[in-house]
Amino acid sequence: MTEIEPMNVPELPSSVPPRRRHLGRKIFLAFLSCVTVVYGLILVFHLLVPRRAADAANLSLLEQCREMCLAYGLVPTGHLANDARAYLRSEKSRPLVQPLHEILKDTAFKPQESQDLPLLGQPAPKFELSDDQGTIVSLQGTLKDAPVVLVFYYGYHCNHCVGQLFGLNEDLRRFVELGTQVVAISADPPELTAKRFAEYGRFDFPVLSDPDNKVAQAYGVFQPEADGKPEVKKHGTFVIDSDGTVLWCNVGNKPFLDNQTLLTVIARQHGLLESQP
C-alpha cells in the first residue's frame, strides 16, 4: 500500500500580530497592578487614619477615595465592628442629635412608608427566644411595657447587618424616650453572640437567637430550601404596637437605617407628633 503523506495545512495568520498581543497583555497587567497598589494604599490609609465626617470640607484625595470605597463596601478590614461602623457612616452620616421634640416636629421630614406586606395590620407572630446569657425573652412579655422595634439580621458575620444594630444603639435613647424597646434576632447561637460581644462590646437591647429560623420564617424574612429552590434570607424591620399589631414593616436585601422614620411611626400612632402631617 502506498502511504499517504499528511497534508501540510498552512497556519492562518492571526488577526492580531503577536507583538501587539504581547503589548496589550503588558498594558493590562500594568493597569491591574496599579489598581492593586491604589486599593492597598486606600486600605492602609483606612486602617491608620481616623475618618472625618463624610461632608467635611476639603477632603484629601485619599479621603475622597476612601468615601467612595466605603459607599460600595470595598474596604473591609476584618474587624467586624469597625466595618459595621464604616458601613453605617457611609449610609447614614450621624446619630440623631436633636432633642426628641425637635425630631418629631420636623415637618420637612417625610418618613418612609411601610411596605404592604401580609403582616401589616395583623397580630405579630409571638416568640420566646434566648439571649446570649440564657435569658428567655418573649414578644408578649416585652409588649406589656412598650411598643417594639423588631429587627431580623443575618448574623454577626454580616457587617451591613451589624451596622443597623450599631445605628439603633446610637439612637436608642430616642426610642426609650418614646417608651419603645428594640429587639434584634438572628440565627446565631447564643455562644457566638456572647463571643462577638466579648470581642466588640454589647448592645443595650436584647439580641436573641433563632437557631432554626422558625421565627424569621413566621415574619416572612426566611424561606428554607425546598423543591429545588435555594434558601432565601432577607433583612427585616418591624414596628409592633403594644397591642401586638404590626404597624410598619420593611423587608429587603439591605438593612433599614432610617431611625427617624421608626420614631415618627411610633409617635404618630400614639398622637405624640407635635405637628401632625
What CATH number did the domain enclosing 210 receive?
3.40.30.10
Same-domain check for residues 44 and 104: no
Please report whether residue 262 resides in a domain: yes
Per this entry, what is the length of the chain?
Answer: 277
Rounded Cα–Cα distance for residues 31 and 38 (Å) = 11
Type of residue at 263: L
Give the contacts of 2 (CB within 8 A, at least 6 positions apart).
none
161 catalytic residue (yes or no): yes
Q: Which three cell numbers stand for residue 186?
A: 438572628
Residue 202's closest CA among 193, 211, 189?
Answer: 193
Please report whether residue 247 resides in a domain: yes
User: Coil, strand, or helix at residue 26?
Assistant: helix
Paired with 129 in beta bridges are 137
Same-domain check for residues 242 and 134: yes
Please report whether residue 263 resides in a domain: yes
pTM over 0.75: no
Same-domain check for residues 44 and 110: no
Q: Which three cell numbers stand for residue 209?
A: 437567637
In 72-171, which ranges are continuous DSSP H helix? 80-91, 100-104, 139-143, 159-170
| Boundary of a domain, candidates 7, 42, 75 | 75
Same-domain check for residues 175 and 258: yes
Helix, strand, coil shares of the chain as percentages rounded to 5? 40, 15, 45
Please report whether residue 91 resides in a domain: no
Please report whether residue 9 resides in a domain: no
Same-domain check for residues 62 and 108: no
Can you list the residues of the chain whose pLDDT is less than 70? 1-21, 31-32, 35, 38-59, 61-77, 93, 145, 274-277
Please report whether residue 12 resides in a domain: no
Please report whether residue 88 resides in a domain: no
Q: Do 276 and 105 meet the contact criterion of CB atoms below 8 Å apart?
A: no
Counting the structural domains of the chain, the total is 2
| Among 65, 69, 158, 161, the one annotated catalytic | 161
pLDDT at 120: 97
Same-domain check for residues 65 and 120: no
Q: What is the CA radius of gyration of the chain?
A: 26
Same-domain check for residues 50 and 149: no
pLDDT at 9: 53
Domain that holds residue 51: 19-75
Same-domain check for residues 143 and 198: yes
Please report whether residue 45 resides in a domain: yes
Same-domain check for residues 42 and 153: no
Give the DSSP H/E element, type plus range, for residue 69.
helix 61-71
Q: Do 51 and 66 meet the contact criterion of CB atoms below 8 Å apart?
A: yes
pLDDT at 206: 96
pLDDT at 2: 54
Type of residue at 62: L
Paired with 209 in beta bridges are 130, 186
pLDDT at 277: 46
Same-domain check for residues 198 and 112: yes
Give the contacts of 74 (CB within 8 A, at least 6 positions apart).
39, 68
Same-domain check for residues 70 and 124: no
pLDDT at 23: 73
Same-domain check for residues 129 and 205: yes
Type of residue at 88: L
Rounded Cα–Cα distance for residues 128 and 138 (Å) = 4
